A and B are shown apart, each in its own frame.
Chain A
Amino acid sequence: MKFILSDKDVRVLEHSPAPVEQILLELGVNPLEVIVSRDGKLISEDTIVEADDEIRAIRIAHGG
């Protein structure tokens, strides 16, 4: 699956189907600090994502 953490950090992961929350944790991302979309649609973090999915994690924390 293609996992986009930011415009500069796009990863291609060999991962069996799993909750997106689990994959975020494996990547060292706190699920509370991102909003996740699959193929452009917002999903909850317990959604199970699969090999051919494109996942984007949008960071929400901004200072100021």
Chain B
Amino acid sequence: MQPNVPICSLCTEPAVIYQRHEDRHLCGTHFTADVKRRVADIITIQKMIVPHDRVAVALSGGKDSTALLLLLNNLLPQWHDVRLVAITIDEGIGGYREDTIKSAEQVTGRLGIEHHCISFSDLFGDSLDTILQGRETQACSICGILRKKALVVGAGQAGATKLATGHNLDDEAQSVLMNVFRGDLSRLIRNSSIGSSGKFIPRIKPFSLISEKEIALYLMLNDAWCELPECPYTRYALRREVRSMLSGFEYKHPGTMLHLIESKEKIERCGKGSVNLEPLRSCRECGDPCSGDLCQVCLLRQSSGH
């Protein structure tokens, strides 16, 4: 054993992480077990997965969704008659998406999980690169709207009862802050996992209390980490700035991200009944559930003149 190596708080192995929220060191084995337990706990407590569910995992092939698929597949024996299916969206982003799709195909092939791939070109008639010409600065908003629709279509085709995404603690805290920055209270307290009344497939986020760093470490410890390119459109994203700022705050003030999530939950509870949320309606054009007259995809089509 090398000197000056912190030791796991639960055994005598060298530590791979210091968990500041728990004030403890963990070795690879205990860290992997800890992540698995915390994910299983949130799934159980929030009843994210129930017997007979068919869970569609939104699998981009990036680190979060890959880790989610691996972990859910690992937890599968704990649930009665639950099946997994992976949905990958090919937005058509040249020089980027090819690598992550290949990665998604490899992981689903290795695990023997059914895999569906839906492309923007098939669904919307054009690749994202084409759709974005001249409005690259809106890339993330436009892509987000279309990708959400594509995932719903894919999950529906696969007969899914739940749609699981790899959003982690960092993503969730960033979203809270971004909605505050935009003054978008209704989006801040909107919850797509509950109250769906059968109008859409409920979304679940089993990683919402696991940090981005923990997910990356989980993959490395399970020999599933691979370096992938970054989406070329992230340079336009507000999220990129928020991510960097929030990460700095989290380092200086541990618990910041968790506090943001807790604040959102408190606002949700306080806002119940007093915030005027639009009731769920059906889009005039396509019939999809939405809060206005037209859904976001049809609004986008209209603004593009399609």
User: Which residues of A are at the interface with B, using a C-beta cutoff of 8 A?
Assistant: 17, 30-33, 35, 41-48, 50, 58, 60-64
**Contact of B63 with A by CB under 8 A:** yes
Please give the distance in Å from B88's CB to the nearest CB on chain A: 12
Q: Does B159 contact A (CB under 8 A)?
A: no
Which of A35, A42, A50, A62 counts the most chain B CB atoms within 10 A? A62
Contact A43:B5 (CB < 8 A) given known A60-B63, A63-B230: yes
**Chain A binder among B14-22, B40-48, B263-271:** B14-22
Q: For residue A63, which residue of chain B has the nearest CB?
A: B234
**In the complex, A47→B15 CA distance in Å?**
9
**Do the beta carbons of A64 and B230 come within 8 Å of each other?**
yes
Question: Which residues of B does A touch, CB under 8 Å?
Answer: 4-6, 14-18, 25, 28, 60, 62-63, 93, 96, 100, 211-213, 216-217, 220-221, 225, 228, 230-231, 233-234, 237, 239-240, 243, 247-248, 250-251
Measured in the bound complex, the distance between the Cα atoms of B16 and A46 in whole Å is 10
- Let me know if A32 and B221 touch, CB within 8 A: no
Known: A42-B28, A58-B225, A64-B62. 4 other contacts (CB 8 A): A32-B247, A35-B216, A35-B217, A58-B216
A19 — nearest CB in chain B belongs to which residue? B4
What would be 17 A-B contacts, judged by CB atoms less than 8 Å apart?
A35-B216, A35-B217, A42-B28, A43-B14, A44-B6, A45-B18, A46-B18, A47-B6, A60-B216, A62-B228, A63-B233, A64-B93, A64-B96, A64-B100, A64-B230, A64-B231, A64-B233
> DSSP class of A's interface residues: helix, strand, loop or mixed?
loop
